[in-house]
């Protein structure tokens, strides 16, 4: 994520709100000013310690699962700053138009930078990893203008997180307010996810994923946990959820002048693949400013090590490394290769060459254009060669793709294709966050996908043709490895979904 320092409008501001008056009155349409004053008065009357304490505690838990600690976070409409503080940011900046809320936030959370201001005219510039709009769009006069302001405060790696009340809850909220069971702070906007996605698009922001949370907004022992950690994750219950969540990013500008061409490192795990090594040297293309091939030999029973040494001597024009694996499993080999690679973009190519090396430029183009930040090979689009994948393996892959699409909130068609690509910067962040999921993936595919999801990266599928193996036998043990993948999926669901 971006590490440049954000520019803000200065230290916390308290007082009469003249700054807001100045910002709001400049060219404000009819009705905007009276609406603004009514909403400020409403929030100045609001008691943050009253109703909704459980709901906000649940919101904080959800956001903690989305935003890693020690990020640079800007929250718009921060209220008393409790959510922002719960994320433990390295830099936490909050903006709110209620002087009472700003004063309370500054008093309760002195480590944060809280500013009085109108987010329709953001007094900040770019440099944040995350920008949060929590329960805010329901309260805004002009959502599109605010999204335009948000887009202007984004760097290319910024993630925008929005949660808003579902329109299905408009009537229950009205009843609860009349009965005195809910605070009268919910604004008049009841926008659908489709409405918000369109407004994001108009502002130059691209939706990465969306989902629903919170079925029971009050604490009912034994019931709230069942509803909010379990039932809300599955149809048809999730459609009745209170909160719609969305994660977006600045849409890539594919017409901009690209950055300098990067060095590309292709990691090739090789175990019992002696007959394929020469083809790797001949067929892996040069990409960017050059391609480095990093072989990781994994305790082969044939002469794979010797074959790589001979090919390196035969092809001195290729930039190569040869590493001997000390651990076991493809995942361990990939991590060793990534740790030794010098490239700015990292790719994985299985030495069995069932994915053609000539397809690697497609992965390069997807990352370079900004279409995606994690490029995942898909073998299930084009017809496969006759013996490329057995029927039970095909069924298993389709089941895992459905499960993972549901788990991570993004469409992913083939979780187990060995060919993947991402930047070195993003891989380092995945590695730093690895303890969150644990280190027990024998293949490395789930480790990378879960890590990319944790970082809210944009995943993009790259269709490839899956070819028959021409040398050797598969290293996959269908039942043993299949059970391991099921266990990892169950574990990840507890980290990503049932929180």
In the chain, where the domains are located? 18-250, 263-496
Contact present, 468 and 356 (Cβ < 8 Å)? no
> Two tokens at 297?
């030999």
Q: How far apart are CA 398 and CA 16, in angstroms?
A: 60
Helix axes 32-45, 99-108, angle to 10 degrees: 40
135 vs 59: CA distance, rounded Å: 10
- For residue 248, give Cα distances in angstroms to 151, 157, 164, 295, 449: 10, 10, 14, 36, 18
Q: Could you identify the residue written with the tokens 């993948």?
A: 485
Burial of 277 (0-12, 13-18, 19+ CB in 10 A): buried
pLDDT of residue 441: 67
pLDDT given for residue 185 in this prediction:
56
- Here the tokens at position 195 are 């409405």
Residues 368-379: tens digit of each pLDDT? 989 999 999 998
CATH number (3.40.50.620, 3.20.20.70, 3.40.50.300, 3.90.550.10) of 263-496 reads 3.90.550.10
Tell me whether residue 167 is exposed, middle or buried, using C-beta atoms within 10 angstroms of its C-beta: 0 to 12, 13 to 18, 19 or more. Answer: middle
Instruction: Please tell me the distance from the alpha carbon of residue 299 to that of residue 333, in angstroms, as a whole number.
Output: 11
With vertex at residue 236, the alpha carbon angle to CA 230 and CA 237, rounded to the nearest 5 degrees, is 40
Q: What is the pLDDT of residue 411?
A: 81
Q: How far apart are CA 62 and CA 138, in angstroms?
A: 19
In 3D, which of 436, 373, 412 has the Cα closest to residue 64? 436
| Residue 315 to residue 281: CA distance in whole angstroms | 7
pLDDT at 6: 44
According to the model, what pLDDT value does residue 448 have? Answer: 93
Three-state DSSP state, 447: helix
Task: Output the furthest CA–CA distance in the chain (Å, rounded).
Answer: 82
Residue (of 356, 464, 451) closest to 414 by Cα position: 464
- Which stretches of the chain drop beneath a pLDDT of 70? 1-30, 47-51, 177, 180-187, 254-258, 386-394, 396-397, 438-442, 473-482, 484-485
C-alpha span between 422 and 431 (Å, rounded) = 13
Q: What is the reported pLDDT for 489? A: 74
Amino acid 47: pLDDT: 64
Phi/psi of residue 461, nearest 5 degrees: -85, 135
Secondary structure element (H or E) that encloses residue 475, with its range:
none
CB atoms within 10 A of CB 227: 18
Determine the pLDDT at residue 381.
Answer: 83
Cα–Cα distance, 247 to 216 (Å, whole number): 22
Please report the pLDDT score of residue 256 as a whole number: 61
d(CA 7, CA 5): 7
Superfamily of domain 18-250: Vaccinia Virus protein VP39 (3.40.50.150)
- Alpha carbons 91 and 83: distance in angstroms, whole number: 14
Alpha helices, H only, 113-191: 143-152, 170-178
**Host H or E run for residue 142:** none
Dist CA 270 CA 180 (whole Å): 67
Cβ-based burial of 435 (10 A; exposed 0-12, middle 13-18, buried ≥19): exposed
User: Buried b / exposed e across 404-424, counting CB within 10 Å, b at 16+?
Assistant: bbebbbbebbbbbbbbbbbbb
- In 411-452, DSSP assigns E strands to 420-423
Residue 366's SS3 state is helix
Any idea how long the chain is? 499
* pLDDT of 29: 58
């Amino acid at each position: 994520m971006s590490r440049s320092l954000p520019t803000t409008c200065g230290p916390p501001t308290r007082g009469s709100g003249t700054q807001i008056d100045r910002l709001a009155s400049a060219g404000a349409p009819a009705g905007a000013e009276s609406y603004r004053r009514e909403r400020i008065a409403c929030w100045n009357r609001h008691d943050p310690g009253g109703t909704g304490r459980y709901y906000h505690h649940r919101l904080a838990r959800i956001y903690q699962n989305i935003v890693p600690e020690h990020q640079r976070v800007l929250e718009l409409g921060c209220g008393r700053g409790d959510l922002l503080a719960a994320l433990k940011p390295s830099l936490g900046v909050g903006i709110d138009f209620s002087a009472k809320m700003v004063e309370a936030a500054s008093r309760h959370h002195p480590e944060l930078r809280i500013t009085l201001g109108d987010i329709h005219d953001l007094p900040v510039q770019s440099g944040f990893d995350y920008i949060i709009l929590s329960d805010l769009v329901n309260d805004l006069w002009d959502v599109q203008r605010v999204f335009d302001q948000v887009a202007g405060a984004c760097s290319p790696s910024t993630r925008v997180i929005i949660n808003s009340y579902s329109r299905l809850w408009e009537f229950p909220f009205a009843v609860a307010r009349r009965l005195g069971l809910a605070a009268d702070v919910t604004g008049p906007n009841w926008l659908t996810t489709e409405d918000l996605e369109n407004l994001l698009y108009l502002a130059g922001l691209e939706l990465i994923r969306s989902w629903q949370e919170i079925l029971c907004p009050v604490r009912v022992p034994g019931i709230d946990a069942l509803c909010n950690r379990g039932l809300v994750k599955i149809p048809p219950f999730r459609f009745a959820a209170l909160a719609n969540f969305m994660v977006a990013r600045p849409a890539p500008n594919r017409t901009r002048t690209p950055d300098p061409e990067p060095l590309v490192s292709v990691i090739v795990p090789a175990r019992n693949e002696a007959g394929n090594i020469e083809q790797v040297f001949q067929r892996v293309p040069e990409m960017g400013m050059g391609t480095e091939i990093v072989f990781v030999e994994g305790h082969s029973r044939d002469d794979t090590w010797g074959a790589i040494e001979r090919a390196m001597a035969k092809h001195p024009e290729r930039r190569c490394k040869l590493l001997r694996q000390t651990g076991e499993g493809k995942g361990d080999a990939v991590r060793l290769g990534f740790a030794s690679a010098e490239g700015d973009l990292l790719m994985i190519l299985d030495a069995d060459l069932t994915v053609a090396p000539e397809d690697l430029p497609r992965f390069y183009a997807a990352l370079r254009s900004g279409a995606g930040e994690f490029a995942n090979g898909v073998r299930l689009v084009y017809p496969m060669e006759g013996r490329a994948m057995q029927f039970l393996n095909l069924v298993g892959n389709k089941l895992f793709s459905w499960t993972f699409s549901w788990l991570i909130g993004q469409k992913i068609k083939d979780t187990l294709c060995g060919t993947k690509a991402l930047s070195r910067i993003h891989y380092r962040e995945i590695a730093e966050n690895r303890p969150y999921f644990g280190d027990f993936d024998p293949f490395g595919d789930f480790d990378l996908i879960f890590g990319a999801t944790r970082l809210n990266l944009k995943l993009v599928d790259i269709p490839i043709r899956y070819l028959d193996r021409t040398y050797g036998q598969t290293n996959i043990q269908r039942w043993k490895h299949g059970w391991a993948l099921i266990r990892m999926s169950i574990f990840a669901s507890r980290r990503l979904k049932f929180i």
